[in-house]
Amino acid sequence: MNILDAIVGAQGGSGVQELGRQFGLNDSQVSSALSALVPALAAGFQQNMSSPQGLDGLLSALSGGQHGQYVDDPAVLGRADTMSDGNGILGHIFGSKDVSRQVATRAAAQTGIGASVLKGMLPVVAAMMMGAMSKGLTSPAAPQMTSPGAGGSLLGMLTPMLDTNRDGSIVDDVMGMLGRMSGR
C-alpha cells in the first residue's frame, strides 16, 4: 500500500472528512490537496532518508513517537500539538519554511485551492504521513519492517508517490521535485 492510500483509507476515510471540516473543504478537494501535497512530502522524506543519519533519525522518530494516533484518531488532527508536531516534521524534511511555502504554492496551482489553506494543511498532512509510516513499521502484517531493512519498507510506501513519470526510477522525479522546491 502506498502512503497516500494509507492516509486516505485510514479509519474508513474519517481523516479525510476531518481535514475537510478543519479546512473548509469537501472530500473531493481534500483528496485533490492530498494528491498534490503527499508527493512533495514523500520527496522530502526520500531526500532525508538518503543519508544514514537521516534514515536513523526517521526510524527513531517513528519507533519512539506516538505518530500512529494521526491515522488512528482523526479527532487529534485539529489539536495544536498536532500542528506543532507537523511543523517539526516539515522542518526536518524540508529544512526551511520557504520550501514549505513553495510546496503550498505549487499545490495551489495544481488544485485551485488557496495556498494559505494548503499551507495550513501541510503540517497536518506531514503528521498523518508520519502516522501512516509508523503504522507500516509496526504492522503485524509487515514484521520485516522492524529489521535494519526498514528503510526499504518505507521507500516501498513512498515510491509510488515519487515515480511520477512511471519509468520505474524515482531518481529523476525526486531530483526534479527537489529542484523545483528549492527554486533551482
What's the mean pLDDT in 68-83? 92
C-alpha span between 8 and 160 (Å, rounded) = 15
Q: What pLDDT is attached to residue 156?
A: 57
DSSP-derived secondary structure letter, 125: H
3-class DSSP string for 80-110 = HHHHHHHHHHHHHHHCCHHHHHHHHHHHHHH
> pTM score, two decimals?
0.76
Q: 78: which 3 cell numbers?
A: 485539529
Q: What pLDDT is attached to residue 159?
A: 53
Predicted confidence (pLDDT) per residue in 77-91, tens digit: 999 999 999 999 999
Q: What pLDDT is attached to residue 68?
A: 87
Across the chain, what does the average pLDDT equal?
A: 79
What's the mean pLDDT in 85-112? 92
